[in-house]
Chains A and B, each alone.
Chain A
Amino acid sequence: MNNDIIRTSGLRKHFGKNEVLRGVDLAIPRGAVVGLLGSNGAGKSTLIKCLLGLLKISAGTATLMGEDPWNLSAHTKSRIGYVPQVVHLYPWMKVRQVIEYTGAFYANWDHAWCRELLDQWDLDGAAWIRNLSTGQLQRLGLILGMGHRPDLYLLDEPAASLDPSGRRSLLRSLLEITEDREHSILFSTHITSDLERIASHVAIMGNGVIDYFGELDELKDSVKRIRVHSPVDLPPDFSVPGALRTEINGDSAIVAVAAVNDEVIDGIRDRWDASVDVEDLNLEDIFLELHDAQ
């Protein structure tokens, strides 16, 4: 309990008749970099907003740094950094002014770091907010959310509007942050390549529940695609324990399996007298397999 920076249990949220979160259970340890993966409309933004107290939880419990999200204390809020999907700023301010204005609220705002980030991310400090492009706004939003060096970062689709170089810069900055393992990051995305590098844990969300939560490496180790070649045509009732998706083409089959180990492979070899090739899947493939399995 002490080590979990975010903990939810049976979290539900509905908007009128529409139930978006249907019982989310999550326990994120301190120092983890969690990628929240899910298709559009799965409820990622809603989950993050519930955790911050921007939305009221309909049922279930949640704690953020040990506190109820609806009534976060000032101290906790100073340790959280949130970057929303769409950043709302006053169009009549300039970039530098917005940063100074936001910085005035926090006791430990790192002005030098903000200036560095401005340079690094190629933002003009004297540009008007109303003239910024979406990508530039997103970058500014990131600076505003990170400038006070929070312990917990909550990023809602941070790289969605960034170009590849922007994305790379963002990842670099996030990697720098996580070097000391004291900082936790939860970021939601539907671009899997961002996660591969940086995430230590991955939470896959579908239809308002968390389908999988665990370490990324374990996920990659356990979800594999198996090609089965047998000398004779495979019967229609061919199945593999723990299969997510099975595709039979005459004497060969492609099976996506959730938990692969030697037992399973030997079992297939023995039972159907077939040769088995195990294929590694990257995160995108894993996500698609898990998603299609619904």
Chain B
Amino acid sequence: MLSKSALRQISGISKTYLMRPLMLCALLILGIGCAIFCFSSRSLRFRDSYSTPFDQNASDTFHDAQAFVRWSEDGTVHPEITAIDFTRMGSAIRTKPNDLGPRQAEVLPFGDLEQTLAQFPNLAKVQFDRDQLTQVAPTTLAALTSLRAISVLDVKVTAAHIAALSQVPSLEWISLQTIDLPASLEPLSTLPNLSSVCISNGPLSMSNGPMASPYRPETLVELNALPSLRELILRPQYLPGLGYFAGSKTPDPACDPVLKENCREVFADSQTLQRLWLGSNQSDAERNQLAVVAKTLPHVRVRPATYDSRKVLESRMAGGILMFATMVIMLQLTSQFSGPSAQLIPRFAPVHLGFFAAFITIATCAYALAISGRDLSLLPALATFASCVAVVAILHAMWSVVGMTGRQYAYWLPALIVVCVMYHPIAMNFAPPWWSAILDQFLMGVHPVVAMLLLATAALVLAGCLLLFSWQHRFWAEHAIAPAMTVGDLGARMSSLAWNRRDDRKSAAQIGRWNRRLQDTLAQPRATHRWIARMWRLGNSPAYIGAIMIIVAITFSFGSFFRVNGASAMDHMMVHHSVLMLLALPMLLIAMQCSGRRDTLARDILYPVARERWIGSVFLAVWTQLGSLLALAFIIANLQIGFLMQVPTPSHVLRGLVAAGALSVLGTGVILSVTLHRGIAWAIALGLVGLISTICVTMIIVDTGLGPSGAAAESVRQALHHPAVLPGIWIVAGVIFSLAYRQWQRTEFACV
């Protein structure tokens, strides 16, 4: 079915895509995403905003269970070990086979814990798993003179733990990860060097007994009494109902507002406390309370213990969409549907770039606003908007500048920046603490300042780029904004044109004239203001812009139909919106591009190609473009689903793939049919068909339904799993495709 020339055409079109540096960036990002995907099958957890001694250099923390057991048996001394992490040894040890009963297998290695630690004289940090601390002989602990930091992860921290801890005079850092702390912390005041205490959530217990909250006021008072405490981290995990287990009628101290209130009272008179990491700042209320605490403790730096994960998510989503959008712009610039023997693919489209940059910016900002829900107040919303615009502008300008230098590897620079934007939560794990402090500052809500800074930087960068090339020939500078071409490219092109004409005298005269013109331009004073405006104006008619606005508004306001119930529903909403945009954008852009070629169809058909073959190649080219963009969108969508919800199963992915394939066929039919019709009514009708199918395909890819209530959503989802749905979509796609094909076969192109 596919002839040799058709294969050549497909390979030509695909090569155009793959040769673009943008595609290489996209592949890089996908590679990173997939790599992360492979190593972890859970949703990502965001890093805590504070740093502990246990964060750094996880590589030299000793956690080899089998080696530990061996050493504990043979008693060798290991001065090179400075950090041990028992929490990571647990599972390895449990899988060790032995002829005693399973319970004994658990206990066996740790029976030696009493003296074993003495084999590591330089031990500085140790992280204990359940019950282990109490098994270590106090003298052993006291003998470890370098021991600075201890972390205890246990269901219940008893007086035995505290007593053990208080035996270590060199201790500077204590981390208690538990939800039940009945013991008094008073013995810890004997430790002269204890400067940091961290209390965070621990494992759940199965017991029915009452629990003592580690955050109750008495504990806080005891913490306040510690003589040299400089840094305190309180990171509760609020589990409603736990307080009731204790039979208490008072509100659970781990509840965020209660905790903040208590801290405010207790630490108001603290002499030594310098840094306090307290609770969370997920909502405005929480942020306000934290601010109140900060005001009450003027000498203490008060920060939340967790990141505002939603904001981080927002920026990551925006970054992802941005990246995709930039990708699509570049693809649009380098592609068109062309006849079978066209060799030249025009790359000069500054006007198109301007238009689509504006569109993508608006869409991105609308999207960022949409996913943040409607509880943003106006000023932060504008700030978000501004920062999105600024980020888009910066990235585009950087891309242009970098691209123009022509250095082969410089194209990675903007991509790396976007990668950082997208993946910085992961990167936080490896970042130094001062960076997290800065980011914390950003996320505390000083959006407007940062946004203004970003905008100013963007403007400066843009101006710099434009001025940088103002001395160049105007022709070069205007083309430089189309990032697909570098200065070197351009120069080579100009000189090759000149080279081709070297033979006749006329050409030599023309080359001379061109050189002279170039010299004149270089010599003349810069008249940059005119062409700066020209390069960034929107070239397309208001009708197109209006249509885009309407579509964006519809997509944006879709969310108001659906009520959000809980965090997981929010995730679903975000993913839905995101995938919808990812699928709709390529179709929209290719439609724009095709309708731009409407007027030249009458020329195209008169090129030396038979009518049938030409129509076939048009459909093939559009389908190839749409298909590759949708494939990219599909991959990104599944990555997002994996991060935010759960890893999709193979059958889920397969269904999504089949649906996306149908969408590409349907999209081709819709786009090419609309290209021929000038009537608005037809375009709207087909557009609705396209939109509805895109929504259905989105729901299939994300595999959740949407509806006014949870039950309705679930029923929609079940309906989509009906075996007739996928074939149905393919049938609709096929029908529309063949209708469009027949329409093209019958059209009189002089009337288009």
Asked if chains A and B are in direct contact (CB within 8 A), the reply is yes
B63-71, B343-351, B369-377, B725-733: which one contacts chain A? Answer: B343-351
Pair A54/B750 contact, Cβ less than 8 Å: yes
The complex places the Cα of A84 from the Cα of B501 at a distance, in Å, of 30
The complex places the Cα of A92 from the Cα of B609 at a distance, in Å, of 25
Residues of B within 8 A of A115 (CB): 501, 506-507
- Contact partner of B351 among A49, A92, A96, A100, CB < 8 A? A92
Pair B603/A88 contact, Cβ less than 8 Å: yes
Residues of A within 8 A of B409 (CB): none
**CB proximity to A under 8 Å, residues B580-614:** 599-600, 602-603, 605-611, 613
Pair A74/B748 contact, Cβ less than 8 Å: no
The complex places the Cα of A52 from the Cα of B611 at a distance, in Å, of 12
- Contact partner of B497 among A52, A56, A96, A107, CB < 8 A? A96
**Is B352's beta carbon under 8 Å from chain A?**
yes
Q: Name which residue of chain A comes closest to B500, CB basis.
A: A111
Q: Given A49-B750, A55-B751, answer yes or no on A74-B600 (Cβ-Cβ < 8 Å).
A: no
**Is B539's beta carbon under 8 Å from chain A?**
yes
**Is A95's beta carbon under 8 Å from chain B?**
no
A46 to chain B, nearest CB (A): 9
Q: Name which residue of chain B comes closest to A75, CB basis.
A: B608
Pair B475/A126 contact, Cβ less than 8 Å: yes
Q: Name which residue of chain B comes closest to A80, CB basis.
A: B606
The complex places the Cα of A88 from the Cα of B605 at a distance, in Å, of 13
- Contact partner of B610 among A71, A97, A104, CB < 8 A? A71
Pair A77/B501 contact, Cβ less than 8 Å: no
**Is A89's beta carbon under 8 Å from chain B?**
yes
Pair A97/B346 contact, Cβ less than 8 Å: yes
**CB proximity to B under 8 Å, residues A69-98:** 70-75, 77-78, 80, 82, 84, 88-93, 96-97
**Is A101's beta carbon under 8 Å from chain B?**
yes
A65 to chain B, nearest CB (A): 13
Counting residue pairs across A and B whose Cβ atoms lie within 8 Å, the total is 79
**CB proximity to A under 8 Å, residues B486-544:** 497, 501, 504, 506-507, 539
**Is B741's beta carbon under 8 Å from chain A?**
no
Pair A77/B748 contact, Cβ less than 8 Å: no
Residues of B within 8 A of A91 (CB): 539
Pair A101/B501 contact, Cβ less than 8 Å: no
Residues of A within 8 A of B504 (CB): 112
Residues of B within 8 A of A84 (CB): 602
The complex places the Cα of A224 from the Cα of B351 at a distance, in Å, of 59
**CB proximity to B under 8 Å, residues A42-70:** 49, 52-56, 70
The complex places the Cα of A82 from the Cα of B607 at a distance, in Å, of 10
Q: How many residues of chain A have a CB within 8 Å of chain B? A: 35
- Contact partner of B600 among A73, A82, A89, A97, CB < 8 A? A89
Pair B348/A93 contact, Cβ less than 8 Å: yes
Pair A54/B748 contact, Cβ less than 8 Å: yes
**CB proximity to A under 8 Å, residues B732-752:** 746, 748-751
The complex places the Cα of A91 from the Cα of B351 at a distance, in Å, of 10
**Is A119's beta carbon under 8 Å from chain B?**
yes
Residues of A within 8 A of B348 (CB): 92-93, 97
Pair A72/B507 contact, Cβ less than 8 Å: no
**Is B339's beta carbon under 8 Å from chain A?**
yes
The complex places the Cα of A90 from the Cα of B342 at a distance, in Å, of 16
- Contact partner of A56 among B349, B602, B609, B748, CB < 8 A? B748
A112 to chain B, nearest CB (A): 8
The complex places the Cα of A90 from the Cα of B343 at a distance, in Å, of 17
- Contact partner of B344 among A55, A71, A78, A100, CB < 8 A? A100
The complex places the Cα of A49 from the Cα of B607 at a distance, in Å, of 15
A77 to chain B, nearest CB (A): 4
**Is A212's beta carbon under 8 Å from chain B?**
no
The complex places the Cα of A56 from the Cα of B599 at a distance, in Å, of 18
Q: Which of A75, A96, A104 has the largest count of B CB atoms less than 10 A from its CB?
A: A104
**Is A106's beta carbon under 8 Å from chain B?**
yes
Residues of B within 8 A of A112 (CB): 504
Residues of B within 8 A of A80 (CB): 606
Pair B341/A55 contact, Cβ less than 8 Å: no
Q: Name which residue of chain A comes closest to B343, CB basis.
A: A104
Residues of A within 8 A of B611 (CB): 53, 70-72
The complex places the Cα of A280 from the Cα of B350 at a distance, in Å, of 60
Q: Given A97-B346, A104-B342, answer yes or no on A82-B608 (Cβ-Cβ < 8 Å).
A: no
- Give the 10 A-B residue pairs with the shortest CB-CB distance, closest first: A54-B750, A78-B608, A88-B599, A104-B343, A105-B607, A77-B608, A74-B608, A49-B750, A55-B748, A101-B344
| 5 A/B residue pairs, CB under 8 Å, sorted by A | A74-B609, A78-B608, A89-B600, A92-B351, A97-B348
Q: Could you list 12 further interchain pairs (A-B, Cβ under 8 angstroms) beyond the known A54-B750, A101-B346, A105-B341? A: A49-B750, A54-B748, A56-B748, A72-B610, A77-B608, A77-B610, A92-B348, A105-B342, A105-B609, A115-B507, A119-B506, A126-B475
